[in-house]
Amino acid sequence: MVNPTYFEAIKWASSFLTKNKKEDASSFLMQERFNLDQTHLLLNYRHAMAAADWHQFQADIRQFAADVPAQYIVGHTHFYGHRFRVTDATLIPRPETEELVEWALELGERPLNVLDLGTGSGAIGISLKLARPNWQVTASDISAAALTVAKQNAQELGATVTFQQSDMFKSLTQQTFDLIVSNPPYIANSETVVMDASVLKFEPKTALFSGTDGLNFYRRLLSQLPLHLNTSGYFFGEFGFKQKTALSQLVQQQLALVARFKKDITGHDRMMRIQYKEV
């Protein structure tokens, strides 16, 4: 096919992906690669693509057919109304995590000292800072490569965030926070058999897996949380939809803490808020 129209290119891509038993990401890749919203894509449907753009689009589709996530192909994703750079050093932020951000923002407008623990692309911490400019936000991650991406996102989005490389709280030993938020690794090692090939092949395993039951991160976190959470503070975290009971038991072992759980939009228990028990 030589210089197809945008419509013909989309039609080719849809057919190619169907034959390769992949979901149809043709419109997403077309729009995100060439910065077209749905209206402008439709307006261009009968226009011929430039040769360079057609070659790029074919390359993108073939990468997607080879399990490369669409967000990594175009180099960005959308989260809480903002566009974030993503690479294979960062987890791709999921729409469900926007609900965690929304829940944390219910704390209101008062100034808070905030930690985004395991920030990855910076999606949570930067979104919180943009929504609450008077919050002082620190974003930490064990991965230097992830922090490089997060810093780029903060700069491009105009968010003043402090970044710190740290394994859990190791480099934050003397710091305490009013709010700690995290979308940590929580997948059990045994769950690889039910995961998408694209996730297993390309997304960072340190951001996904957390031991045989997926709760190793939370065990470490809960043992150290009282040292870093102010007495009137809150922890908000995401977890797997089958982990509520086990997490509730872990929190109960920390006698000073109490947890409240929240369902996501699909009706699964996926978020947790921890605070100190009232005396």
Residue boundaries of the structural domains of the chain? 6-66, 88-276
Map residue 196 onto helix, strand or coil: coil
CB contact at 8 A, 122 and 91:
no
The answer to whether 134 is annotated as binding is no
The answer to whether 125 is annotated as binding is no
The answer to whether 186 is annotated as binding is yes
Over residues 175-194, the pLDDT tens digits come to 999 999 999 988 877 776 65
The answer to whether 133 is annotated as binding is no
Map residue 93 onto helix, strand or coil: coil
The answer to whether 158 is annotated as binding is no
Over residues 130-175, the pLDDT tens digits come to 999 999 999 999 999 999 999 999 999 999 999 999 999 999 988 9
pLDDT at 192: 67
pLDDT at 102: 98
Tokens of 171: 């480099």
**Where residue 200 falls among pLDDT bands split at 50, 70, 90?**
low
Cβ-in-10-Å burial (0-12, 13-18, 19+) of 28 comes to middle
Question: H helices of the chain, where?
Answer: 6-19, 26-34, 38-43, 51-65, 70-74, 95-105, 123-131, 144-157, 197-202, 216-228, 244-253
Tally Cβ neighbours within 10 Å of residue 91.
22
Query: Is the domain covering 88-276 a CATH 3.40.50.150 domain?
Result: yes
Instruction: Flag whether pLDDT at 279 surpasses 60.
Output: no
pLDDT at 1: 57
Question: Could you give the angle at which helices 95-105 and 123-131 cross, rounded to 10 degrees?
Answer: 40
pLDDT at 209: 67
pLDDT at 197: 77
Dihedral of alpha carbons 20, 25, 27, 28, sign: negative
pLDDT at 190: 72
The answer to whether 234 is annotated as binding is no
What distance lies between CA 156 and its chain's CA centroid?
18
Calculate the dihedral angle through the C-alpha atoms of 12, 40, 93, 15, rounding to the nearest 10 degrees: -10
Mean pLDDT across the stretch 219-228?
Answer: 95
Distances (CA, A) of 20 to 14, 23, 44, 95, 116: 10, 9, 27, 26, 39
The answer to whether 140 is annotated as binding is no
The answer to whether 118 is annotated as binding is yes
Over residues 6-27, the pLDDT tens digits come to 999 999 999 999 999 999 999 9
The answer to whether 211 is annotated as binding is no
Mean pLDDT across the stretch 69-76?
Answer: 97
The answer to whether 141 is annotated as binding is yes
